[in-house]
Amino acid sequence: MQNDPLSHGLWEATSPPAPPTEPLTGQVKADVAVVGCGYTGLATALRLAESGAKVVALEAVEIGFGAAGRNVGYVNAGMWVMPSVMLKALGPTYGERALTLLGDSPRVVWETIEKHAIDCDPVRNGTLYCAVDAKGVAEIEERERQWAARGAPVRALDRAETAARIGSDAYRGALLDMRAGTIQPLAYARGLARAAIAAGADIRTQSPVRAAERPGKTWTLRAGAGTVAAEWVAVATEAYGGAPWPQGRREQILLPYFNFATAPLHGDLCASILPGREGCWDTHKIMTYFRLDRDGRLVVGSPGALRGTGLAVHRAWAKRALRKIFPRIGEPRFEHQWYGVIGMTRDAVPRFHRLDENVVTFCGYNGRGIAPGTVFGRVLADHILGRVAEKDLPLPITVPDRPALPALREAYYEIGAQIAHLAAAWI
């Protein structure tokens, strides 16, 4: 996108094309304006359109331009933190609601893909959270205990079973979550857009929202070369947001992450690595994650940005990491490389904000965008439609906060990832 090979990499090269769209021109009226066309915005627009509402979705660049088109493609249940942390952060009422919704969120993604025949390479064979040491084993066992107590199909694997599933003895164990799986993430976003348009949504790309005003009961959004008048506004820009409602972006620390994809593996080599095609990540402090795509490319990634010295540092690290995990792979040859940012809240828990009268948003996915974005988008739509009252939302209404020294912390994460990847053979 925008002639940048480092933005979407493999996913842009292998995704079906986006549905045709045009920039906003003239004056348009709608019941709801959706700002942002990632998973949340598109799921909101789809749900609204299917319910008969007139919806206009505005995207500053292209469908899936933000994190929706840059991530590794894991459809995970829950958030990064354990259920006990969610309950402590949100309290028993909202904590239980959020855990129930997010624990079931992969099912909603799979059903959405099937219902709308979205061509995005879904693999419903679980994910593996891999333990690198005794501390990691204790963590996956505790995660198993907490999720199993809630009836989730999770299981801690021993070293031998982990090695059989991964095709490597690099890890001491893994947590298998059968709710989860992998997809081609940009293809999923484009498929959601196609489904929303078919349901009646009006999607306008290359139409950044520059200003918003509400002289009466209707909002007027100035975007592209036109305006949208709507009673409600759903803001779905997450870590890539900006004016006129930057609050959700401002309360998050941006963590960069990158991906490299090898040339397709073939024959016995491909068959011996991740034979079940589970998505994997590990308990390293600076995590490593890896998966296969549909054509047998091995995708590997970690925190860090592919700019400046970071490109060479992280590329060299990715080669070392793959040789460490899969020694028989030899010298990896990368065909694609790309990176983006994740928005991290101070407690790694998502937020619901009422940014203004009839302006609502979910944000703070902390690296878990696909499934939470899908279900939170549906909740936004149902709230706007009057089906879900504020008191019944899965998250409490909160005021956006401001983290201390955000620019300094973001620079620390980017530089720190380079130092860590440069200093260690594999971490």
- Cα dihedral across residues 162, 165, 166, 168: positive or negative: positive
User: In this structure, is residue 92 part of a structural domain?
Assistant: no
User: In this structure, is residue 387 part of a structural domain?
Assistant: yes
Model confidence over 304-314: pLDDT tens digits?
Answer: 999 999 999 99
User: In this structure, is residue 77 part of a structural domain?
Assistant: no
User: In this structure, is residue 193 part of a structural domain?
Assistant: yes
User: In this structure, is residue 102 part of a structural domain?
Assistant: no
Model confidence over 268-310: pLDDT tens digits?
Answer: 999 999 999 999 999 999 999 999 999 999 999 999 999 999 9
User: In this structure, is residue 206 part of a structural domain?
Assistant: yes
CATH of the domain at 36: 3.50.50.60
Please determine, for residue 427, whether its predicted confidence score (pLDDT) is greater than 60: no
User: How far is it, in rounded angstroms, from Cα 419 to Cα 427?
Assistant: 11
User: In this structure, is residue 233 part of a structural domain?
Assistant: yes
Please determine, for residue 9, whether its predicted confidence score (pLDDT) is greater than 90: yes
Domain that holds residue 32: 9-72+186-251+346-396
Please determine, for residue 94, whether its predicted confidence score (pLDDT) is greater than 70: yes
User: In this structure, is residue 379 part of a structural domain?
Assistant: yes
pLDDT tier for residue 404 given thresholds of 50, 70 and 90:
confident
Q: Identify the residue whose tokens are 């308990």.
A: 283
Q: Is the pTM of this model over 0.75?
A: yes
Number of domains in the chain: 1
- What integer is the mean pLDDT of 114-119? 98
